[in-house]
Amino acid sequence: MTIAPKAACLVTGCAGFIGSHLTDALLASGHPVVGVDIRPRAEAVNLAGAFADPRFHYMERDINEHGVLAAARQVCPDIRHVFHLAAVVMVAFSMDHPELTMATNSTATRALHEESVAAGAQAFIFAGSAAEYGDDPRLPLKEEYATDDTEQASPYGKAKYLSSRLMQTSGFGCSLRFFNIFGPRQDPSSPYSGVISKFITQAVAGKDLTIFGDGGQTRDFIYVSDVIRSYLIAGGILPNPRTGTAEPLAGIFNVGTGSIMSINELAQQAIRSAGASSAILHAPARAGDIYHSQADIDLFTRTTGFTPDVDFLSGLNQTVDWFRSTR
């Protein structure tokens, strides 16, 4: 019996922290992948494994150059699943570059979404963000709390909200509103990278840890492998644990753990996990940062049966091990 080949996937932002993990998972599940990223191939170090796979095709391209799906289908015509992760990802950068942020995170998303609808794609999964809720004090945050009246704290949050709303109002596509993701491959070099990767890098190197603000800020941290599993379920790649069928989702869903930890607690745990003796320093808070953030994941859990597999400490220790291995 001949087994039909699996449909191809498009992953924008494929060379990034999350995009590279997603690309690897899709290839491992047997799906050809066209990856789009603004980075030159030589700088796409997270994709070392993917480049060794003949089913992977890399396109160096700015997502603001519309016609992305058409270009990708010239390489691989049978693209049925679109995972859109390419974005301006730094809140502080968005404060200084609001027009570029809106063009990248909203206008380019709409263009790719329209292309996907016209091409008859089966799934369109957008990387939403907890920043869409602004500094809403109603915790845990429910999907319906973000509305047109919400005042996002940054252009990043506003642009992400507009794209999530497009998924909701169009009836096609799914926005996964991720909270704070951490794990291997997260780049600590940027001043606005994930706080966990920065703390681990500093602790492993025996340096002091710097907290912006008083450290009372709380976050909902979710490990990268759980994030990738949520992508695969939402995109119809993995069967929905609730229904047993592989069907793409539509709408907006929070993805987190539902638990919170303060930045002060995080810093202390990072020092312990790294076996370091670093001191904890404080610097002024950064503009656009939210003080408290916690996901209500009930909707995603009821819809899919999804619950996170990796507890925080296990994920942190795995991340520490990875950073040690790359030194």
Note the pLDDT of residue 286. Answer: 83
pLDDT tens digits for range 78-89: 999 999 999 998
Mean residue pLDDT across the chain: 94
Structural contact between residues 124 and 172, judged by C-beta atoms closer than 8 angstroms: yes
| Confidence check: pLDDT of 1 > 60 | no
Q: Please say whether the dihedral angle defined by the alpha carbons of residues 233, 90, 214 and 208, taken in this order, is positive or negative.
A: positive
Rounded to 5 degrees, what are φ and ψ at 267?
-60, -45
SS3 content of the chain, % helix, strand, coil (to 5): 40, 20, 40
Beta-ladder partners of 181? 222
pLDDT tens digits for range 280-307: 999 999 877 788 999 999 999 999 999 9
Whole-prediction pTM value?
Answer: 0.95
Q: What percent of the chain lies above the pLDDT cut of 90?
A: 91
Note the pLDDT of residue 227. Answer: 98
pLDDT tens digits for range 19-52: 999 999 999 999 999 999 999 999 999 999 999 9
Q: What tokens appear for 296 in the block? A: 């209500």
Domains of the chain with CATH codes: 87-325 (3.40.50.720)
- Average pLDDT of the segment spanning 246-260: 97
Q: Which residues lie closer than 8 Å to 99 by C-beta, 6 or more apart?
A: none
Structural contact between residues 269 and 311, judged by C-beta atoms closer than 8 angstroms: no
pLDDT tens digits for range 102-113: 999 999 999 999
Note the pLDDT of residue 190. Answer: 58
Q: What percent of the chain lies above the pLDDT cut of 70?
A: 98
| Confidence check: pLDDT of 312 > 90 | yes
Q: How far apart, in Å, are the Cα atoms of 140 and each of 126, 132, 145, 147, 298?
A: 22, 14, 10, 16, 10
CB burial readout 39-77, b (16+ within 10 A) else e: beeeebebbeebeeeebbbbbebebeebebbebbbeebe
| Confidence check: pLDDT of 2 > 50 | no
Strand 79-84 to strand 123-129: parallel, antiparallel, or no bridges (unpaired)?
parallel
How far is C-alpha 235 from the chain's CA centre? 14
> Which amino acid appears at position 40 of this protein?
P
Q: What tokens appear for 269 in the block? A: 């745990």
Chain length of the chain: 327
